Chains A and B, each alone.
Chain A
Amino acid sequence: MSNRLMISAITWVGILLFVPVLFGQSAAPTSTEPHEKWNDVVPLNKSAYAGKKSGPAPKRDLSGVWDGTAEGGGAYEGAREYPEDGKPGHEPPYTPLGEQVLKTHKPGVGVRGVAVEIGNDPVNICDPQGFPRMELYELRTIEIAQTANQVLYLDQFNDNWRIIWTDGRELPKDPEPRWNGYSSGKWIDDYTFVAETVGMDDRTWLDNSGRPHSSDLRVEERFHRVSDDILELTVTIDDPQMYTKPWVAIDKIPLHRQPKGFDMREMTCAPSETLDYNSQIGARTATGGDWKGR
């Protein structure tokens, strides 16, 4: 081999070794748990997890498929800690404006619920539910992955995804609205990751019962890795326009880690399917009322 050829070979080896470092990537991890199935399902009851021994929490690691189904992650009547069921203590601390905007929202559930056809829930026509409704409404199966500068949050419900930046960037001051907002997060200790999100589109609802939010909404998510198998999530709502003080919408819900190789089933809100459902069922179940939605 000539010297030129040797130099060229060494150069290419160097480049190939350097590229992953340059892009902050490590080699793709491999699973040691064989997994043959597609379209995996999750346990419905938390008894499925009872007595299961878990390893210790890994440091600074949220990665995995996590599920809140068995812990009541599907909060149909409103935020998990504040369902709109008319019971004392379940009403968030509305400002006068918050109460006013709430009255314009006609959900299909809760004490103010109306039939789908005469409601105005954006989700009924496949509009994005946005953040944080994706957590306050349907916290079921999510997958979290980490890169060198991001936490990637993949939500099965409506095939939604978010990026939480971990490169230290500040949140935008006057952001162009996004359905899922702008998220930045950091580890406050080896087992607790805190993400802050702003810039959410105020056309979205906060939860399934139509709680309002403004463009000033700020959401804190606190992910606490309790063990290898449990990730605890707390979500705090702070929106001075709509609420007189911050309130904890989800308080330490345990999310259970699913087996490696878990294949999340697709769940897309297809407008044609929704149109079919709304015309076949939604329109025909309307019970009337003096308010007319969209």
Chain B
Amino acid sequence: MRTKLMAVALGALGLFGSCAPAFAHHGNAAYDYEKTVVVKGVVTGYIWANPHVYLKVDAKDESGNVQHWLIEAQNPVAQANAGWSKSTFKPGDQVDLDVMPTKNGQPIGRFRNRIVINGEVFKGPGPR
């Protein structure tokens, strides 16, 4: 099952991997476009608001310590056009995400296109 899920996830990554970077209204200078980190954890909050939608995820780091991640997308209009809604995530969801991290090492990032929610690959395109 896990292998299958990984294959689907990698397929999705390949499908969207060639897309242009997800530019943001408020700036992209703080993010490292060259890096991708995988964040696996539990959703603790989902803020569907301007200027940017963002997700709160508790995920363990390599040492087993819980990191409180904040992962941003774009504004609700752009996300709705991309197939998201105010109920795409809910607290308690298990998520597995590819994330573009910040340059300063904070547990903050930007969605890339591989999004798995409770074991299901989210089919809506990633942030634009």
Contacts and interface: CB of A to CB of B under 8 A. Distances in A.
Interface of A: 39, 41-42, 44, 69, 74, 76-77, 107-109, 113-116, 119, 121, 123-124, 138, 140-141, 156-157, 208, 265, 267-270, 273-274, 276-277, 280-282, 284-288
A114 B29 contact: yes
A8 B57 CA distance: 72
B98 interface: no
Given A44-B81, A44-B128, A277 B27 contact: no
B30 A285 contact: yes
Contacts, number: 105
Classify the secondary structure of A's interface with B.
Answer: loop
Given A76-B25, A113-B28, A69 B49 contact: no
Given A273-B51, A285-B31, A76 B23 contact: yes
B3 interface: no
B128 A280 contact: no
Contacts of B125: 44
Interface in B31-65: 31, 47, 49-52, 54
Given A41-B81, A44-B82, A280-B70, A108 B50 contact: no
B75 interface: yes
Contacts of A269: 50-51
Contacts of B81: 41-42, 44, 69
A163 to B, nearest CB: 23
A119 B77 contact: no
Interface stretch (B5-13, B99-107, B115-123): B99-107
Contact of B26 (A74, A116, A156, A267): A116
Contacts of A141: 77
B72 interface: yes
Nearest to A157: B77
B66 interface: no
Contacts of B15: none
Given A44-B81, A267-B77, 15 more contacts: A39-B80, A69-B81, A108-B28, A119-B27, A124-B26, A140-B77, A156-B77, A267-B50, A273-B50, A273-B51, A281-B54, A281-B108, A285-B31, A286-B104, A287-B29
A44 B80 CA distance: 11
Contacts of A76: 23-25, 28
A116 B27 contact: yes
10 contacts: A41-B80, A44-B82, A69-B81, A109-B28, A115-B30, A116-B27, A208-B25, A281-B54, A285-B102, A286-B104
Contact of B70 (A44, A123, A281): A281
Contacts of B31: 285
B125 to A, nearest CB: 7
A109 B106 contact: no
Given A74-B128, A276-B49, A114 B77 contact: no
Contacts of A109: 23-24, 27-29
Nearest to A112: B29
Q: Which 10 A-B pairs have the closest CB atoms?
A: A108-B27, A113-B29, A285-B30, A76-B23, A115-B30, A273-B49, A41-B81, A285-B102, A267-B77, A116-B27
A282 B29 contact: no
B97 to A, nearest CB: 16
A200 to B, nearest CB: 20
B54 A277 contact: yes
